[in-house]
Amino acid sequence: MQTFTDIRALIIDMDGVLWHGDQAQAGLIEFFAALRQLNLPFVLATNNASLTAAQYVEKLAGMGVTVALPEVLTSGMATALYLSKLYQPEQTRVFVIGGIGARQPLLDLGFTLTGLYETGPGQGADLVVSGLDRELSWDKLATATLNIRAGAKFIGTNGDTTLPTERGVTHGNGAILAALQVASGVSPTIIGKPEPIIYQQALELLGTDMATTIAIGDRLDTDILGAVRTGIRSLLVLSGVSTTADLQNIDYAPTWVMADIREVTQALTSSAKIRPDTL
């Protein structure tokens, strides 16, 4: 049994960790019950920008788990916050590929969103933001390409090339970014994991330090690498994308590797019994 030491907060991925698509992972309710019982604060930080924080709260409620809005941070939210510090929202036009989870945070911060084929002088976008879009179309890709080629800054909410679902692993936002990059000749700036931006924002929300906060995720190339780049410890669960075989092909590593959140729950509760002063 693996144990933990000096953990005071968690940054937890969702897809592949808490669920596959609409199918909850076994032990989901018990995992959150343990976090509440141990008084461990957490932020659910996901690269998936397809839903809003409120929609994720609703999704978890449908699975029998209650979380609050401030406990959710999506890459869409992280992107909007990041851009609001670089640009004046009320003077900045954005074309978005993505669902409400990518669009609403930008609107909330005062950005103006442009529509299909609003391109050219005076009508085009200053920024193109691409997130996971389940209604992706030729027209959306064309509008994004035209804006980027006209000089709009190209931003990706995340670079995940794949997405675990209840039907298996399918394409993620990184596949959309790749298409736009090939069409425009411009590489995107990535906001989500493995870049440290979303982890740094989560740490600010938690009010904890790097030494006592750990990240839990299912992807080595995003969740774990992002934690390494941020300077925090990490835990890989094998219930999503990455496997133990993948560990042999990287030059970094998670602090812990566990099968799923059921094993994480067991380790958390056992560690609390052994060293109650550290949790």
Closest C-alpha to 106, from 75, 149, 135: 75
Domains and CATH numbers, the chain: 9-47+193-278 (3.40.50.1000), 76-190 (3.40.50.1000)
Those residues whose C-beta lies under 8 Å from the C-beta of residue 263, and which sit 6 or more positions away, are: 2, 237
Number of H helices, E strands in the chain: 9, 15
- Indicate the pairing of strand 168-171 with strand 162-165: antiparallel
Q: Which is catalytic among the residues 6, 15, 209, 251?
A: 15
Whether the CB-CB separation of 198 and 220 falls below 8 Å is answered with no
Output the six-digit token pair for 107. 């609107």
Q: Which is catalytic among the residues 6, 13, 22, 221?
A: 13
Mean pLDDT of the chain: 93
Looking at residue 2, its pLDDT comes to: 65
- Rounded to 10 degrees, the C-alpha dihedral 262/219/10/104 comes to -120
Is 13 annotated to bind a ligand? Reply is yes
Looking at residue 170, its pLDDT comes to: 85
pLDDT digits 0-9 by tens, 8-21: 999 999 999 999 98
DSSP code of residue 29? H
Closest C-alpha to 17, from 258, 253, 228: 258
Output the six-digit token pair for 136. 């992706």
Whole-number percent of the chain with pLDDT over 90 = 85
Whether the CB-CB separation of 17 and 240 falls below 8 Å is answered with yes
Is 140 annotated to bind a ligand? Reply is no
Is 218 annotated to bind a ligand? Reply is yes
Annotated catalytic, 139?
no
Output the six-digit token pair for 53. 């924080």
**Average pLDDT value for residue range 75-82:** 97
Annotated catalytic, 221?
no
As a whole number of angstroms, the distance between CA 218 and CA 222 comes to 9
Q: Is the pLDDT of residue 263 over 70?
A: yes
As a whole number of angstroms, the distance between CA 140 and CA 208 comes to 40
- Indicate the pairing of strand 153-156 with strand 189-190: parallel
Q: What angle do CA 32, 36, 39 make, to 5 degrees?
A: 135
pLDDT digits 0-9 by tens, 84-112: 999 999 999 999 999 999 999 999 999 99
State how far the alpha carbon of 173 is from the alpha carbons of 83, 201, 209, 265, in Å: 19, 21, 30, 30
Q: Is the pLDDT of residue 276 over 60?
A: no
Is 108 annotated to bind a ligand? Reply is no
